[in-house]
Structure 1
Amino acid sequence: MNSIKDNNTDLNQELIKHPSASCILRVSGESMKDGFTYDGDLLFVDSAIEPKHMDIIVAAINGEFTVKKLQLHPQLALIPMNSDYKPIYLETLGEEESFIIFGEVTHVIHKC
């Protein structure tokens, strides 16, 4: 039998390894639903971690945040996890457009 024990768990301590480089963001949209990230979920994002190929990241394109899977090869792209959305191929961004990786998603808390 499993039991639940209230031990006053501090989620910040449990889920955030780099407090000064981390934040919590709320998801808006459906582009990652096939990756089990849904509208209203909370994302723990760590900007101290260098993302690797196929990590889930938060990026900013022209100042607008997006959550996607990072593809580093064969070409740099942000891949949605919902077939209703198209990948964002970063080589197609114009010179006047900006792109920055904000951080890697380390944990997701689903909205009930």
Structure 2
Amino acid sequence: MLITEIFRPAEQFQRSIALYADTVKAGFPSPAQDYIEKTLSLDDLCIRTPAATFFVRASGSSMEKAGIHDGDVLVVDRSLPPGHRKIVIASVDGEFVCKRLDLSDPSKPVLRAESDDYPDITLRDEDELEIFGVVTTVVHAL
């Protein structure tokens, strides 16, 4: 999955939206509540470290089994360590990709696709790898 656009969070925009106390059932409907318990800012929900956060738009289908689809916006935190099995934004020889980091063998990291249609990226000694951050949230329009 390639990265097509990179964005920074807006510094001035923080809007709180109504958060209803009741949960939404995925089965049978329940009566709606007539009150709002509190508000929720999407910034507070999706951004843990504002100074280290950026957004990218994904392109392609190599991460679909991880719930990342073509056109989704990914929230990426540069302050988090890129651990084993984390989904990361990386540059491999200058090309930005979104893959799952496999550190089973720490001497040979692998960037794994989450689709059977795409190969994993097994890094060679001469490959240049830079991890830009860990994906923390996926914004997926229905």
TM-score normalised over the length of structure 1: 0.86
2:52 and 2:131 map into 1 onto residues whose CA distance is 13
Equivalent residue for 1:98?
A: 128
Shift of 1:7: 5.9
Q: Using the alignment, how far apart are the partners of 2:68 and 2:110 within structure 1?
A: 19
Question: What is residue 18 of structure 1 aligned with on the other side?
Answer: 49
Unaligned runs of 5+ in 1: none
Q: Is the Cα contact below 8 Å between 1:79 and 1:88 reproduced in 2?
A: yes
Residue 87 of structure 2: aligned partner: 56
Determine the C-alpha separation between the residues in 2 that align with 1:3 and 1:100.
49
Larger mean Cα displacement after TM superposition, 2-11 or 13-22: 2-11
Taking only aligned residues, the RMSD between alpha carbons, in angstroms, comes to 2.0
Question: How many residue pairs are counted as aligned between the two chains?
Answer: 109
**Shift in alpha-carbon separation, 1:83–1:2, aligned structure 2, 3 A:** farther
Q: Secondary structure of 1:9's match?
A: strand
For 1:101-112, what aligned pairs fall within 5 Å after superposition? 101-112=131-142
Q: Percent identity?
A: 34
Q: Moved runs in structure 1, 4+ residues, more than 2 A? A: 1-10
More strand by share: 2
Q: Quick check: which has more Rg, 1 or 2?
A: 2
Q: CA deviation at 1:93?
A: 5.1
Normalised TM-score (structure 2) = 0.69
Question: 1: distance between equivalents of 2:31 and 2:133?
Answer: 35
**By percentage of residues, which structure has more helix?**
1
Partner of 1:81: 114
Q: Which has the higher contact order (CA 8 A, sep 6+)?
A: 1
* 2:59 aligned with 1:28: yes
